[in-house]
């Protein structure tokens, strides 16, 4: 079992990684918790024992629950269960569950504790860590949310054993991202990362995210690098959601395409050369992920990008460059459209 700290002063917590990590739940609940609401998707089999009185709350599975009405419903369930400000919620599931439960916990009684027990690879390496919560609007993904750190995160690798192939692909999309965010001189090759044990892979990604979050908790600047590949990814997801095709594209698959796009855009802006672009393509392909843009309108994608949560009334991207991956503001929409066209997007 491994434990990686997220060093945030009085909001610091541990990410416990390994088989059976969920069995540490009772030990990581804050002192004084007498009642817990355990929230998980319908049909998910993941036994957790908080060691105190608990109320089980089921949510439908899928991106469709990431809406404000779900947050209201959860808060009402917390109230009906009699949760006090000293009690806690436990999110058992993927990134969607940690997002909505974390958001509800942050606003119920102006904030109660919550613990994440992520059950997908994507959630274990990324979504469950760092305290960003949020829900979608018809205008775009994650446009409403809060920063609310969990009391602990329990990454039980036993829970990943029955994941379907596309859920593995979704998590590996985030792993591919972290291959480019490692400190200089520590970046693993795709082969070495894939050659690690599952526990080592998860720990590698968690350690990078924990260090970035500790340096920039509220996404003032440095934390924005965690959105590498996500500006296009979120646009693709928003486009699929608007067209009723949300299940056609997993988040990690969208991120994989977004990484290749970001590299091509960085090349167009003169930040990197052909070899670095090819490295992005090889890393993504090495994780058996898509590298090509799905059918989409370039103009519509750019419109969604303008609503991205990183936007400052301009087009902001996280791009590779001489100093590594960093935020780049004020990108010319013409360069974005040209790069999308290069990748086969419709006008």
Sign of CA dihedral 71, 74, 76, 82: negative
Antiparallel, parallel or unpaired: β 35-41 and 13-18: unpaired
d(CA 22, CA 344): 44
22, 66, 141, 234: which one is catalytic? 234
Q: Give CA–CA dist 139/307, Å, rounded.
A: 8
Catalytic residue among 22, 66, 142, 174: 174
- List, for residues 305-334, the tens digit of each pLDDT value: 987 755 556 899 999 999 899 999 999 999
User: Average pLDDT for residues 189-212, to the nearest whole number?
Assistant: 87
| 166 — pLDDT class (breaks 50, 70, 90) | confident
Angle between helices 198-215 and 165-179 (to 10 degrees): 50
Interval 47-70: pLDDT, tens: 899 999 999 999 998 889 999 999
Q: What is the pLDDT of residue 191?
A: 64
Residue 59's pLDDT is 96
pLDDT exceeds cutoff 70 at 246: no
281 is catalytic: no
DSSP 97-126: HHHHHHHHHHHGGG--EEEEEE-SHHIIII
Percent of the chain with pLDDT over 70: 95
Identify which has the larger pLDDT, 133 or 251.
133
pLDDT-based confidence at residue 249 (cuts at 50, 70, 90)? confident
CATH of 2-163, one of 3.40.50.2300, 3.40.50.1970, 2.40.30.10, 3.40.50.300: 3.40.50.1970
Q: Based on the residue annotation, tell me whether 116 is a catalytic residue of this protein.
A: no
Angstrom distance (rounded) from CA 20 to CA 45: 14
CA neighbor of 260 nearest in space, from 294, 311, 303, 302: 294
On whether the CB atoms of residues 70 and 76 are closer than 8 A, the answer is: no
Catalytic site includes residue 209: yes
Whether residue 230 lies in the annotated active site = yes
The catalytic position among 45, 110, 186, 275 is 110
Domain ranges of the chain: 2-163, 200-342
Q: What is the largest CA-CA distance in the chain?
A: 59
What is the predicted pLDDT for the residue at 310? 57
Please name the residue ranges forming H helices in 33-148: 68-80, 95-107, 121-122
Kindly report the CATH number that applies to the domain delimited by 200-342. 1.20.1090.10
SS3 26: helix
């Amino acid at each position: 079992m491994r434990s990686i700290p997220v060093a945030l002063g009085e909001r610091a917590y541990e990410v416990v990684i390994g088989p059976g990590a969920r069995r540490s739940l009772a030990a990581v609940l804050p002192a004084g918790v007498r009642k817990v609401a355990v929230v998980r998707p319908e049909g998910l089999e993941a036994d957790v024992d908080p060691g105190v009185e608990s109320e089980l709350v089921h949510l439908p599975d899928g991106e469709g629950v990431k809406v404000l009405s779900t947050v209201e419903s959860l808060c009402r369930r917390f109230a009906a269960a009699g949760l006090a400000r000293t009690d806690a919620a436990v999110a058992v599931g993927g990134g969607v569950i940690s997002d909505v439960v974390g958001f509800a916990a942050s606003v119920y009684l102006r904030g109660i504790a919550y613990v994440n027990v992520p059950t997908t690879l994507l959630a274990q390496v990324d979504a469950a860590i760092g305290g960003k919560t949020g829900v979608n609007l018809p205008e775009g993904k994650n446009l409403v949310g809060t920063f609310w750190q969990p009391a602990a995160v329990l990454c039980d690798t036993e829970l990943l054993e029955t994941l379907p192939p596309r859920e593995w692909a979704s998590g590996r999309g985030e792993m591919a991202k972290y291959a480019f965010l490692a400190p200089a001189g520590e970046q693993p090759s795709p082969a070495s990362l894939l050659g690690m044990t599952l526990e080592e892979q998860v720990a590698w990604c968690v350690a990078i995210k924990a260090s970035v979050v500790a340096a920039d908790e509220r996404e003032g600047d440095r934390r924005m690098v965690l959105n590498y590949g996500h500006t296009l990814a979120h646009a693709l997801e928003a486009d699929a959601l608007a067209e009723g095709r949300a299940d056609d594209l997993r988040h990690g698959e969208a991120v994989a395409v977004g990484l290749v796009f970001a590299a091509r855009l960085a090349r167009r802006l003169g930040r990197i050369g052909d070899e670095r672009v090819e490295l992005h393509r090889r890393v993504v392909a090495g994780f058996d992920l898509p590298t090509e843009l799905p059918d989409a309108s370039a103009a519509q994608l750019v419109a969604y990008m303008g609503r991205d949560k990183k936007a400052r009334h301009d087009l902001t991207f996280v791009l590779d460059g001489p100093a590594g991956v960093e935020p780049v503001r004020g990108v010319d929409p013409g360069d974005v459209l040209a790069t999308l066209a290069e990748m086969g997007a419709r006008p």
